[in-house]
Chains A and B, each alone.
Chain A
Amino acid sequence: MINKLQCGLILLGLAILTHTSISQTTPPEGIRVNTPTVHALTNARIVPSPGKVIEKGTLVIRDGVIVGVGAGVAVPADARVWDMKGQTIYPGLIDSYSDYGLPKAPKPEPESEQQQRPRPTAEPQRGADYWNTMVVPQNSAAELFSVDAKEAEKLRAQGITSALIVPQRGIIKGKSAVVNLGDGKPNDLLVREGVAHHIQLADEYGHDGYPGSLMGVIAMIRQALYDAEWYGKAQEAYSSNKSLERPEMNEALAALREVLGGKIPVVIETRDELECLRAEAIAKEFGLKLMLRGSGREYRRLDAINTLHRSIILPVNFPETPVVDSPPEALQYSLEDLRHWDEAPENPARMQSAEMQFSLTSATLKDASTFLGAVRKCVARGLRADAALAALTTTPAKMFGVNDRLGSLEVGKAANFIVTSGELFNEKTLIRESWIDGKRYAIKPLPELDPRGIWNITIAGRDNRDSLILRLKAEPELLQGTFRKGKQVNLRTVSRTGLHLAFSFPGDSVGYEGVVRMSAALGENTMNGTGEWASGEVFAWSGVRIGAYVPDPDTTKPKPPEMSSFAPVYPLGEFGRTRIPEQPATIFVRNATLWTSGPQGTMENCDLLIEKGKIVRVGKNLAAPSDAVVIDGTNKHVTPGIIDAHSHMAASGSVNEAGQTISAETRIGDIIDCNEINIYRALAGGLTTSHILHGSANPIGGQAQLIKLRWGMLPDEMKFEGAPPTIKFALGENVKQSNWGERFATRYPQTRMGVEQIMRDEFQAALDYEKAWQKWEKEKTGIPPRRDLELETILEILRAKRFVHCHSYVQSEILMLMRVAEDFGFRIRVFQHILEGYKVADVMAKHGAGASSFSDWWAYKLEVYDAIPYNGALMHEQGVLVSFNSDSDELTRRMNWEAAKAVKYGGVTEVEALKFVTINPAKQLMVDNRVGSLEPGKDADFVVWSGSPLSTYSLCEQTWIEGRKFFDRDEDSKMNGEIQKQRAVLIQKVLAAKKADGEAQKKKPEKKGDEFDHHGNETIGGIEQ
């Protein structure tokens, strides 16, 4: 009897599950399924869209579509009725960024492992696609999509019914689609294809070729977009005149054309707040309709990102709880780390306050089953519940162009909704079921029968003098209970499967023997079953409900969440400031020893007058304006801000694009990292201007970027306005890969002979490129030339619009490059490192090349074995413009000492020696009209030293840029105190949070093991939290 009933229930369940709207074109398998698809969900609290509530409403759906929703909606006579008393219905949630049902991205490989395998040879290209296999816009999620039942079930448990699915491979990755998370055929589940194109700015998937750097990634994206533009024009020209040279066929470029001019949106995936700005630059250049896949770090630069006015798809992947249990462990966490832990959960709330448009996604979570918990955490941390709901329903529906079908509960829209036990963002609320296209998926459904309550038990054939009372409580799915016979004992086990109940209790505690085991068929108010005594003897019994279930009152008071502890600083964490230092209208430096590095030389007891960030007067006994900020320079030395002509700091990702021999298309300017702490540390050594160069892996490397060290400002704001563009070249061992290991013995060139030839070949190609364009501009006929970012850059060099800084060591190659340049009619502006410059200094002087040298490095490789510290002095004597550089984030903090080495080795005067790190590099970089010396009209970039800048006992006390004090040793001390204080506060906060987590877990012994988050010590985002 019982078994039959059970079977029936299971069959009923199966029937519901297998009833699918099979795609119309698919032939049926076996018997056709024609279960009616009319449902009415009654007595529910309905939230049809964010901010709206129907307290007691009915939702009617027919054939997967909503046909009625509201308080007075009639139940159709043919409808199957579901009583949803006490339950709440929400629109189904949309995951705005998912890899559901798609081939997964390859995992990054540790570099050590990469080194161990041979370099892959290029796979033969299949199909008429883009030359670089990282550009695959022809990929389409709609085509790649397959149903993953297990994953879908996991996402549905989070309330998600639809997702934007995004192809995972490549940099330009292809088109996304919106799919429903039901089971069935992709044909039925695909809601909309071709939603957007997707691009990631990532260079970290361990492929071994081009691009191998963030700047290379950006350059390739730009080139591909220009190629797409060209492709359209070329094909049009050809289609109107088939006698022209046939342009290549390219499926990738044909697909990518769609994004130009904003025909379909482009989502660019970002990994931090700065990448939002980088994405915007690309979007602006090509008129893209940009959306951003955020990183969760937007709050660090909220204002800047807000001004972009782009929709953001926001992950809720919060940092793991730091491990700070012991002092040494805590040392691993910077204040930036701790503050990120403290503030990241408020990212969505802050974006909401700023009225930014965003949706939420499970993307980047290690485990999608922590998604809803993470969203609930956002709500606890200030995100309004209706805003959270909007970010999961109406907003993504609108962003992805499916708001006519999804996102809210309205007549005519798809029957995608979820049923919950209460407020969606309350941590105790259960997702009971989810409905997709009118099809029901049970998650934790209300049982059809609730056995909880008080039951009077009668055991057949026994003396029932003692009343036997069975109490069932806790959750209907996870019962607990007691049995009373005079005394009350806890049930040992209790389980319910459908309408079958089984339990056991220690009989010896209430006068029976051993453990007594009983089971029964459940009814609304009765139960009938059998049991077994310890002896093995079987008995019949029955129960009658005598009391309803009254839950224990919830005594736990909801604690208001602790909000983040500290005000924003820029950049976040160490040595950030609430705002950039102010610029006093007038500054007066009094009575200092001024090293002007200009015609006035070095003067003692001298004054310096600054107005609005510019030097106005330099001289003795000047009058201090009454409103001036006065710096007492007594016993102090003041120099121009130090300039480093060769640095690689403040760059995101690799500064080498080693994937190709020539990488002129890459731009350091695309990857300036204003959060780099070494910027601040360099300021503390008096550095104000730095030339950030591409690395030396390529004969012709990427475009460099001159920056001022305006710590706290944004990447673009750090760039030295109007500085003439420069580019990095390199010669010798690095470019011929001499010291790269045995895996690198095939790329051209492998000799200095080859280096010369590749230079000449490239310059010639640039001239030919120019000719092609000139012809086109004149005639406008034929196939238009393709815009080539690499050759365009080379052409700028030949036309003296961009200036070469060439890494070089030995005299042969130095001479070679000057001769090549002369043959092509241009000059090498500066040789970098140039450690054998002293051997050909006369030729360099004649050519007009400057030298930016290491002061005294040598012997780290064969080509620098003849390097000598007298190099700078010898070149200087021969009339070469000489500077000393660092090429090191550490050395760049004490460039004044490097200058002193020109005095030591070769007897350069102290005044001239300081110029090696002030006016000389300024001249080399062609910004000496702005910086490099203390002269009227120039930027007020200066350093206050405790003594002579050439003394090793002196230290930098203040560093000013344009009349703003960006470093002050006293302020540094105060900031340090604040940092230590904030770290201490946050470490205690972490410990308290961990304690609370631990106690919360202890209180829930009934929790099933498999519902825990196993990924860390914490369960942030865990639905059970």
Chain B
Amino acid sequence: MKRRTSLSCPLSLIPHHFVVSRHWSFVMSALLACAHSAIASNQIPAKPQEKPIAIVNATIHTVSGPTIEKGMIIFDKGKIIAVGTNAAVPSGAEVIDATGKHVYPGLMSADTYIGLTEIGAVRASNDRIETGRINPNVRAEVAVNPESELIPVARANGITTMVTAPDGGLIAGTSAVMMLDGWTWEEMTLKAPAALVVAWPFMSVQQSSLKSIEDQKKEREKQLNELANAFRDARAYMIAKMAEEQKGIPYHKIDKRWEAMIPVLQRKTPVVVSAFDMQQIEAAVAWSVQENVRLIIHGGYDAWRVADLLKKYNIPVLAGGIHRLPYRRFDRYDEPFVLPKKLLDAGIRFAIVSGEEAAHERNLPYQAAQAAAYGLPKDEALKAITLYPARIFGVDDRIGSLEVGKDATLIITTGDPLEIVCNVEMEFIQGRKIDLSSKHTQLYEKYREKYRRSKP
């Protein structure tokens, strides 16, 4: 226990003998490497919006409504107060002339673990997977590191909001909708819990596995039972706790796990279930109906194969990642690319998620673009990473489109943010003007300087 404490301490608190001990030298080298640049990012969180801001002469992509050429958008105290072509600019407002530029709502990553990891291979920097298989009570937001270098990198490409999710086991914990700006995780949190995160057991048995078919079936049965029992136990707990109000019913001790699941059972919090193939999705839907919980399918590779079922129960799909290889040899090469288009055609609600490592989440818009290249209308591709995820996670009253009353969480770009060659020039989160520099731009500048100096 002591050891763990000391390892997670800042460098200066580590007892001297650890520093000189050979045994700990590898730990130290890792810590040292982090210490000089990593533990805190250099970007300073933005100040609250001090005065009204009017962006004028821009192409305004409202997402929820028509696109406005030569339009303007005005926001104050973090909220959008006007969108149009000739709204009155309040006195004292900062006016940003965005001629030739475009304004979009900030992009939303509906599935990432930014903040819960720093360096994939460095164990000490990972807070994404709690041990054990049933962890409904762990909360992603409390472990999000606002100092992560991954945050400025992602937001520099227009991602302003994320759903940070835990992983591992069967019930991983609850995710949270976070803004990519703030001094603390509390300041960053927009909505928590966002959803309970569940990984559906693998349903199909693999003929080629070294494990026997029987063993695989047993393992599947065991996991399905474990999952089902968790929900039944939680429901029993909820009923028992609710009954306490009645006369003669004794007090029931608090169970952190089942307590955390009450909002799920009451349908206040949805369940995001990772389900990939047809059998998993069918099973997850049947289960959600039985348990009467609000289901969101995550992954959903085969979702189009069970479109009628998903539509019947109005279950949305977090489709992703689009950038993946086809799962089956007989799938067409573009099978992952065309999934969103198929979902749209089938009338299923969806958002696009990347399935990427957290560090690479900045490329989320290009996954949407890939779907657009293969048939999804461009405006739908944009919605799939703005308005649609906001709706699925119930934050569309705050973000996801440019409408009066919503948060002034938006980006000014040189063009279509789904194009790689486009750049984000300014960014606002709740009206706060965001520093778009990052570790990457700083190292870029540093070494440009090296070569400037070495020039004759």
A interface residues (Cβ-Cβ under 8 A, vs B) = 108, 110, 320, 323, 327-329, 331-332, 334-336, 573-574, 677-678, 680-681, 684-685, 733, 738-739, 838-839, 841-842, 856-862, 865-866, 868-870, 874, 877-878, 889-891, 893-894, 897, 900-901, 903-906, 910, 950-955, 972, 976, 979-980, 983
Q: Residue of A at shortest CB range from B302?
A: A331
* Contacting pair B421 A903 (CB below 8 A): yes
Given the interface contacts A332-B204, A862-B33, does A897 sit within 8 Å of B366 by beta carbon? yes
Once bound together, how far apart are the Cα atoms of A838 and B440, in whole Å? 12
Q: Which of B121, B203, B441 is most buried by chain A, counting CB atoms within 10 A of its CB?
A: B121
Q: Are A870 and B207 in contact (CB under 8 A)?
A: no
Which of B30, B211, B323, B325 interacts with A110 by CB under 8 Å? B211
Q: Do residues B120 and A860 form an inter-chain contact, with CB atoms below 8 A?
A: yes
B264 within 8 A of A: no
- B223 within 8 Å of A by Cβ? no
A842 and B444 contact, Cβ closer than 8 Å, known pairs A684-B334, A862-B30: no
Enumerate chain B residues within 8 angstroms of A900, measured Cβ to Cβ: 419-421
Contact between chains at A839 and B447 (CB < 8 Å) = yes
For chain B residues 360-382, which have a beta carbon within 8 Å of chain A?
360, 362-363, 366, 369-370, 372-374, 378
Q: Is chain A's interface secondary structure helix, strand, loop, or mixed overall?
A: loop
Chain B: residues with Cβ within 8 Å of the partner, total of 63
Is A865 a contact partner of B451 (Cβ separation < 8 A)? no
Determine which of A327, A841, A866, A950 lies in contact with B420 in the assembled complex, contact meaning CB atoms within 8 Å: A950
B81 lies within 8 A of chain A by Cβ:
no
**A861 in contact with B444 (CB, 8 Å):** no
- CB-CB contacts below 8 Å: B185-215 with A: 203-204, 206-207, 210-211
Q: What is the bound-complex CA distance between A954 and B441, given in angstroms?
A: 29
* Residues in B neighbouring A953, C-beta threshold 8 A: 369, 372-373, 378, 418-419
Query: Complex formed: what's the CA distance from A329 to B279 in Å?
Result: 8
Residue pair B378, A870 in contact (C-beta under 8 Å): no
**Considering only CB atoms, which chain A residue lies closest to B440 in the complex?**
A868
Tell whether, in the assembled complex, residue B278 and residue A331 are in contact, meaning their CB atoms are under 8 Å apart.
yes
Contact A870 B420 (CB under 8 A): no
CA distance A624 to B330 in the complex (A): 39
With A684-B334, A860-B120, A890-B325: A328-B421 Cβ-Cβ less than 8 Å? no
Known: A860-B359, A861-B119. A680 touches B333 (CB 8 A): yes
| Given A862-B122, A953-B372: A331 and B277 interface contact (C-beta under 8 Å) | yes
* Contact of B427 with A by CB under 8 A: no
With A857-B360, A859-B150, A890-B323 as contacts: A865 and B33 at CB distance below 8 Å: yes
Closest to B336 in A: A890
Given A859-B150, A860-B121, decide whether A677 and B329 contact each other with a Cβ distance below 8 A. Answer: yes
Alpha-carbon distance between A838 and B325 when the two chains are bound, in angstroms: 31
Contact B279 A328 (CB under 8 A): yes
Q: A573-B329, A856-B363, A903-B421 are in contact. Are A952 and B373 (CB under 8 A)?
A: yes
Closest chain B residue to A969 by CB distance? Answer: B334
Residues of B within 8 A of A972 (CB): 332-333
Contact, CB under 8 Å: A841 / B360: no
Select A858's contact among B333, B359, B444, beta carbons within 8 Å: B359
A sample of 26 cross-chain residue pairs with beta-carbon separation below 8 angstroms, ordered by A number, consists of: A327-B305, A331-B204, A677-B329, A680-B333, A684-B334, A838-B443, A860-B120, A860-B357, A866-B439, A869-B440, A874-B444, A874-B448, A874-B451, A890-B323, A894-B370, A897-B420, A910-B421, A950-B421, A951-B421, A952-B366, A952-B370, A952-B372, A952-B373, A952-B418, A952-B419, A954-B373
B residues lining the A interface (CB < 8 Å): 30, 33, 37-38, 118-122, 149-150, 153, 203-204, 206-207, 210-211, 277-279, 282, 302, 305, 323-326, 328-330, 332-334, 357-360, 362-363, 366, 369-370, 372-374, 378, 418-423, 439-441, 443-444, 447-448, 450-451, 454
Q: How far is the CB of A955 from chain B (nearest CB, A)?
A: 5
**Smallest CB gap from A738: residue in B:** B121
Residues from chain B with Cβ under 8 Å of A976 in the complex? 332
With A and B bound together, what is the CA distance between A842 and B452 in angstroms? 11
Q: Known: A328-B282, A952-B418. Is A859-B119 also a contact (CB below 8 A)? A: yes
Among candidates B119, B203, B366, residue contacting A862 with C-beta atoms closer than 8 Å: B119
| CB-based nearest A residue for B421 | A903
B447 and A681 within 8 A (CB): no
Q: How far is the CA of A540 from the CA of B393 in the complex (A)?
A: 91
Complex: how many Å from CA A681 to CA B328? 12
A784 to B37 alpha-carbon distance, docked (Å): 57
Q: Which B residues touch A323, using CB under 8 A?
A: 207
Q: Are B120 and A877 in contact (CB under 8 A)?
A: no
A886 to chain B, nearest CB (A): 12
Q: For B439, list chain A residues within 8 Å (CB).
A: 866, 868
Q: Assuming the A-B contacts A328-B204, A328-B282, are A901 and B325 also in contact, with contact meaning beta carbons closer than 8 angstroms in the complex?
A: no
- Min CB distance A386 to B, Å, is 36
- Checking A856, A878, A905 against B360 with a beta-carbon cut-off of 8 angstroms, the contacting residue is A856
Query: Which residues from A are CB-within-8-Å of B333?
Result: 680-681, 684-685, 893, 972
Q: Do B118 and A859 have beta carbons less than 8 Å apart? A: yes
A334 touches B328 (CB 8 A): yes
Bound-state Cα–Cα, A638 to B372, Å? 21
Complex Cα gap A573–B329 (Å): 9
> Which residues of A are found within 8 Å of B324, using beta-carbon distances?
890
Question: B302 to chain A: which residues have CB within 8 Å?
Answer: 331
Excluding A328-B203, A738-B121, 9 further A-B contacts by CB distance (< 8 Å) are A329-B204, A573-B329, A858-B359, A861-B119, A862-B33, A866-B443, A951-B421, A953-B369, A972-B332
